[in-house]
Amino acid sequence: MPIQRMKDLNSMSQEDRAKKLAEFRAELSRLRTMVSAGGAIENPTRIREIRKAIAQVLTVENEKKIAEEKTASKKTKKKRKEPTEKKAEKAAKPAKATEEKKAQ
């Protein structure tokens, strides 16, 4: 049984996901401490489920971050500027040099 569904994670706010991530990390730490102390935990697969849940939360966070960056870059995307006079002269110089060579 999954701890957290992806559709629930996508609908959560960033603050709620951060709280959930902190809860998962605390529980994972507690379970790992129990295992390292030599104690038997009730459900050993719980560690795997929590690790997977942490990865899912982090994945959703990164997806949201990337989506925000893409929308921000689309808004600030600059149009191509017209070449200035100096740039136009530099571009014309190689063409003039090749024409002079051909003429000789």
Question: Is this structure's pTM higher than 0.75?
Answer: no
- Top CATH class of 6-103 equals mainly alpha
Cα–Cα distance between 9 and 91 in angstroms, integer?
Answer: 54
Q: pLDDT tens digits, residue range 44-80?
A: 899 999 999 999 999 999 999 999 988 888 777 666 6
Q: pLDDT tens digits, residue range 8-50?
A: 999 999 999 999 999 999 999 999 999 999 888 888 899 999 9
Domains of the chain, by residue range, sit at: 6-103
Residue 60 CB contacts under 8 Å (≥ 6 apart), including other chains:
6, 9, 10, 17
| pLDDT (0 to 100) of residue 100 | 67
- Tell which residue, 48, 49, 63, 55, has the closest CA to residue 14: 63
Q: Which helix (H) or strand (E) holds 43?
A: none
- Tell which residue, 56, 57, 34, 55, has the closest CA to residue 44: 34
Q: pLDDT tens digits, residue range 79-98?
A: 666 666 666 666 666 666 66
